[in-house]
Structure 1
Amino acid sequence: MKACIYPGSFDPITKGHMDIIDRACNLFPRVYVGVLNNTAKKNLFSVEERIEMIRRATSGMEEVEVVAFDGLLVELMKKLECKIIIRGLRTGTDLELEQQLSVINGKLFPGAETVALLSKPETYFISSSAVRELIEFRADISDYVPKEVADMINGGIAK
């Protein structure tokens, strides 16, 4: 079975992320959403909260499995026996970074491939950092995150 992994911090998961997950589900029978626990980064939401947001937002998607990880992505890929990384690209800057990471990941885990999906025009401007800023100022985030996520955040999990 060919599986793929879509890694990220997902702090929080956005409609742009959901579009990439949905499209990956059309391409692969198993889509792992890898939630990075990067202790060097200050996240607004805990790993557990981010995992719960993603699980709620993907509850109708049988192909999706949410997993947490820290350290190198390729170590998780080896454990999951998964060689395909899904990445969403919004800008040329994203492309340059993903090209670099693809080479490094391929050296660390021979056979690893990166599949890039271009963001759709209606979501390319959405970023988790912009959503976090809106949350900090208590602005409406409903246009940028799945309803389940907005409900969780508005229900009081925001810091």
Structure 2
Amino acid sequence: MKACIYPGSFDPITKGHMDIIGRARNLFPKVFVGVLNNPAKRNLFSVDKRIEMIRRAAAGMDGVEVVAFDGLLVELMKKLDCRIIIRGLRTGTDLELEQQLSVINGKLLPGAETVALLSKPETYFISSSAVRELIEFRADISDYVPKEVADMINGGNAK
């Protein structure tokens, strides 16, 4: 069985992320969503809360499993016996970064491949950083995150 992994911080997960997960699931029987725990990065939500958000948003999607990781992505890929990385691309800048990471990951884990999915026009402008800023200012985020996530955040279940 070919599985893929879609890594990220997902702080919080957005409708753009969910679109990529759904499209990856159409291509692969198993999609691991790898939630990065990077202590050097100041996240708005804890890893556990981000995992809960993704699990709620992906509740109806068979073949999607959420896992936390820290350290190198390729180490998690070895544990999961997974060699395919899914990345969503919004801009040319994303492409340049992902090309660099693809080469590095391929050197660290021979056989690792990166599959890039282009963001759809209705989601390409959505970013977690923009959503975090909206949250900080208590603005409406319902157009940018799944309903389950908006409900968690608006219900005071943050952090």
**TM interval, short-chain normalised:** over 0.9
Q: CA deviation at 1:62?
A: 1.1
What's the counterpart of residue 106 of structure 2? 106
Residue 71 of structure 2 aligns with an amino acid whose one-letter code is G
What's the counterpart of residue 58 of structure 1? 58
1:1-159 aligned at under 5 Å gives the runs 1-158=1-158
Gapped regions of structure 2 (runs ≥ 5): none
Partners of 2:50 and 2:113 lie apart in 1 by: 26
Q: CA deviation at 1:41?
A: 0.3
SS at match of 2:156: helix
SS at match of 2:66: strand
- Give the paired residue count: 159
Stretches (4+) displaced over 4 A: none
Identity across aligned pairs (percent)? Answer: 90
TM-score (norm 1): 0.99
Check whether the contact 2:3–2:83 (CA below 8 A) recurs between aligned residues.
yes
Q: CA deviation at 1:158?
A: 3.0
Gapped regions of structure 1 (runs ≥ 5): none
Residue 144 of structure 1 aligns with an amino acid whose one-letter code is Y
Residue 50 of structure 2 aligns with an amino acid whose one-letter code is R
SS at match of 1:156: coil
Partners of 1:143 and 1:158 lie apart in 2 by: 18
Residue 72 of structure 2 aligns with an amino acid whose one-letter code is L
Q: CA deviation at 1:95?
A: 0.1
TM-score (norm 2): 0.99
Partners of 2:157 and 2:113 lie apart in 1 by: 36
Deviation sequence 1:47-71 (CA, Å, 0-9, x none): 0000000000000011100000000
Residue 18 of structure 2 aligns with an amino acid whose one-letter code is M
